[in-house]
């Protein structure tokens, strides 16, 4: 594990830390000595578990609840997060919904709207609030959005999800351009296939694993630990000149191109 001394004591707000990649990020940042404000939506058991893990490591951490479908509530959520440790040094927009639906099954666009609300509008709102607070406080800041390889190449079922992630990639670039002069860096992480609680059972079925792993040049899935390590790097001074970039970590899947064909 790489150590980034400058992350010690850094105050980081991570959304969607109750499971999966967000929980992996929380653990990795706790190991670097960061102070954590951990958000969850419904999974109160999951967030308590993440809190226990990071506290066992020795991190100072608190939890906050919020549903990102409620856009109007995000201002108050951000204010609470900012106040937990008397300011924040970084925001990690990790929370997201992975919506699998063909466009023809979502004619009304309900799944589409909900996906955009959680995956794109909430990061927009939280990022802008964070940037404004950093500028008012006269301090630098770092934003990381958890995007996806679906922002770059996609496949059946993912019109809503891919649109939200491609939007996040584009939005990140504009924010990086606008906020560079204020010392605020904005970058995206684009994970490939990373088994999490939500997908363990499906991805670990031998037939499914064979199908996926065949398409990944490194011959395996990624891990939440690897995503946590990448996040630590992207928050640290080791990436001080990195802004407006998407860091793809996918075992080579996108470089090779071609997801397995999804059948209805």
Ligand X SMILES: NC(=O)c1ccc[n+]([C@@H]2O[C@H](COP(=O)([O-])OP(=O)(O)OC[C@H]3O[C@@H](n4cnc5c(N)ncnc54)[C@H](OP(=O)(O)O)[C@@H]3O)[C@@H](O)[C@H]2O)c1
Choice between 9 and 260, CB closer to ligand X: 260
Tell me the C-alpha distance between 137 and 157, whole Å.
43
- In SS3 terms, the chain reads as CCCCHHHCCCEEEECCCCCHHHHHHHHHHHHCCCEEEEEECCCHHHHHHHHHHHHHHCCCEEEEECCCCCHHHHHHHHHHHHHHCCCCCEEEECCCCCCCECHHHCCCCHHHHHHHHHHHHHHHHHHHHHHHHHHHHCCCEEEEEECCHHHCCCCCCEHHHHHHHHHHHHHHHHHHHHHHHHCEEEEEEEECCCCCCCCHHHHCCHHHHHHHHHHCCCCCCCCHHHHHHHHHHHHCHHHCCCCCCEEEECCCHHHHCCCCCCCC
Stretch that binds ligand X, among 42-50, 56-64, 74-82, 102-110 (CB under 6 A): 42-50
Choice between 70 and 237, CB closer to ligand X: 70
259 is catalytic: no
> Is 194 among the residues that bind ligand X (CB under 6 A)?
yes
Tell me the C-alpha distance between 18 and 73, whole Å.
19
146 contacts 96 by C-beta, under 8 angstroms: yes
* Binding to ligand X, residues 83-142 (CB under 6 A): 94-98, 118
> Is 19 among the residues that bind ligand X (CB under 6 A)?
yes
Choice between 148 and 243, CB closer to ligand X: 148
Choice between 64 and 238, CB closer to ligand X: 64
Applying CB under 6 A, which of residues 11, 18, 143, 234 lies at the interface with ligand X? 18
Question: Least distance to ligand X from the beta carbon of 125, Å?
Answer: 12
Radius of gyration of the chain (CA): 18
* Residue tagged active-site, from 40, 161, 221, 259: 161
Question: Least distance to ligand X from the beta carbon of 86, Å?
Answer: 24
Count of residues binding ligand X (CB under 6 A)?
A: 28
> Is 198 among the residues that bind ligand X (CB under 6 A)?
yes
Applying CB under 6 A, which of residues 32, 99, 115, 148 lies at the interface with ligand X? 148
Question: Least distance to ligand X from the beta carbon of 6, Å?
Answer: 25
Applying CB under 6 A, which of residues 7, 21, 143, 253 lies at the interface with ligand X? 21
Stretch that binds ligand X, among 30-38, 51-59, 67-75, 124-132 (CB under 6 A): 67-75
Q: Give me the residues that bind ligand X (CB under 6 A), please.
A: 16, 18-22, 40-43, 46, 67-69, 94-98, 118, 146, 148, 191, 193-194, 196-198
Residues identified as active-site: 161
């Amino acid at each position: 594990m790489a150590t980034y001394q400058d992350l010690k004591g850094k105050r980081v707000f991570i959304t969607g830390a109750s499971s999966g990649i967000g929980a992996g990020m929380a653990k990795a940042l706790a190991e670097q000595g960061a102070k954590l404000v951990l958000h969850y939506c419904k999974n109160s058991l999951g967030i308590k578990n993440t809190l226990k893990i990071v506290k066992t490591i020795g991190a100072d951490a608190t939890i906050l609840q919020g549903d990102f479908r409620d856009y109007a509530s995000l201002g108050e959520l951000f204010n609470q997060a900012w106040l937990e440790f008397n300011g924040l040094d970084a925001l990690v927009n990790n929370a997201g919904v992975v919506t699998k639906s063909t466009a023809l099954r979502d004619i009304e666009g309900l799944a589409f709207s909900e996906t955009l609300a959680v995956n794109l509008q909430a990061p927009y709102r939280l990022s802008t609030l964070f940037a404004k607070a950093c500028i008012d406080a006269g301090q630098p800041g770092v934003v990381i959005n958890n995007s996806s390889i679906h922002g770059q190449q996609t496949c059946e079922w993912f019109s809503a999800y891919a649109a939200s992630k491609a939007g996040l990639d584009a939005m990140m670039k504009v924010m990086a351009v606008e906020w560079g002069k204020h010392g605020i860096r904005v970058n995206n992480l684009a994970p490939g296939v990373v088994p999490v609680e939500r997908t363990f059972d499906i991805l670990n079925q031998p037939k499914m694993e064979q199908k996926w792993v065949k398409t990944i040049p490194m011959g395996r899935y990624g891990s939440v630990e690897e995503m946590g390590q990448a996040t630590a790097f992207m928050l640290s001074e080791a990436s001080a000149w990195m802004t407006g970039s998407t860091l793809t970590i996918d075992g080579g899947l996108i470089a090779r191109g071609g997801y397995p064909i999804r059948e209805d």
